Amino acid sequence: MRLLPKLFVTLGLSLLALSVSAAPDNPKNGVDFRTLDKVQQTDSGEKVEVTEFFWYSCPHCHAFEPALESWIKKQGDNIVFKRVPIAFNESFVPQQRLYYALEALGLTAQLNPKVFNAIHVERQPLDKDASIADFIAKQGVDKQKFVAMYNSFGVQSKVRIASQLQAAYKIDGVPTIAIGGRYITSPSIAAAGLGGGRQPEAALQTAALKVMDYLVARTAKEQGEAARPPVAAAPSKKK
């Protein structure tokens, strides 16, 4: 979603159930999702690549996380899921390095939820090198090992690539989901399919997930057709 100063009010389960019927049944290009002018290369083989562009300090990314994790599990082997931490300015870079350091150490599944919780529940900023290193050490990770990875050439290279991907996918808000290197959607984009205006956040999440289901199926079909060998033309008969 866009980086808004106000947070939407979290709804109860009854409103979440009502929001399902409001989700777009026939997602439309330019309304519920967008198609990139230039298709981006993916490296997920025959599977559909799904990428979340996110920011640890984004409240909407934090709110979307449980529903997104459930959706990923539901997709199973249909997709290859990736995350790209974004940076709208230099102050975002420490959290980009945090994500890639955790990824390199194999700790994202274990510590991503704790990072989100620390920022959005415990109100720890975690936006400076020192505070990040201290927090990770408190999670039982060797501080020197983490700092070495955090400052490594490999992590710095991934941060540069993340900036390139952010520009290539024209990311102007988070969370944004890219599918198959061709399509993007998000809770805020899907809001258009709900008639625009202010919508409960739970309704926007439900709409986005339904659009994502549609785009994964569409991309899988397109990739299958592209991989199918062309049918040879029948030889012409001699007169």
Residues of the domain holding 100: 87-170
Q: Which of helix, strand or coil describes residue 34?
A: strand
Q: Which of helix, strand or coil describes residue 84?
A: strand
Whether 109 is in a domain gets the answer yes
The answer to whether the peptide bond before residue 187 is cis (omega within 30 degrees of 0) is no
C-alpha 35/C-alpha 132 separation (Å) is 36
Considering the domain architecture, whether residues 108 and 208 belong to the same structural domain is answered as: no
Pick from 7-16, 94-103, 219-228: least confident:
7-16
Whether 2 is in a domain gets the answer no
Considering the domain architecture, whether residues 67 and 91 belong to the same structural domain is answered as: no
Q: Of 170, 196, 212, which one is at a domain's C-terminal end?
A: 170
236 has a pLDDT exceeding 80: no
Mean pLDDT of 82-86: 98
Whether 4 is in a domain gets the answer no
Mean pLDDT of 34-55: 95
pLDDT category at 18 given cuts 50, 70, 90 is: very low
> 144: exposed, middle or buried (C-beta count within 10 Å: 0-12, 13-18, 19+)?
exposed
pLDDT value of residue 192: 78
C-alpha 133/C-alpha 44 separation (Å) is 32
Domain CATH number, residue 125:
3.40.30.10
Whether 232 is in a domain gets the answer no
pLDDT higher at 112 or 235: 112
Considering the domain architecture, whether residues 96 and 161 belong to the same structural domain is answered as: yes
pLDDT value of residue 23: 53
Q: Which of helix, strand or coil describes residue 47?
A: coil
pLDDT value of residue 148: 98
Considering the domain architecture, whether residues 120 and 158 belong to the same structural domain is answered as: yes
Whether 202 is in a domain gets the answer yes
Considering the domain architecture, whether residues 55 and 104 belong to the same structural domain is answered as: no
Phi, psi of 53 (to 5 degrees): -90, 125
215 has a pLDDT exceeding 70: yes
| Contact assessment for residue 108 and residue 144, using Cβ atoms and an 8 Å cutoff | no
Considering the domain architecture, whether residues 72 and 131 belong to the same structural domain is answered as: no
Measured from the Cβ of residue 39, the count of other Cβ atoms closer than 10 Å reads 11
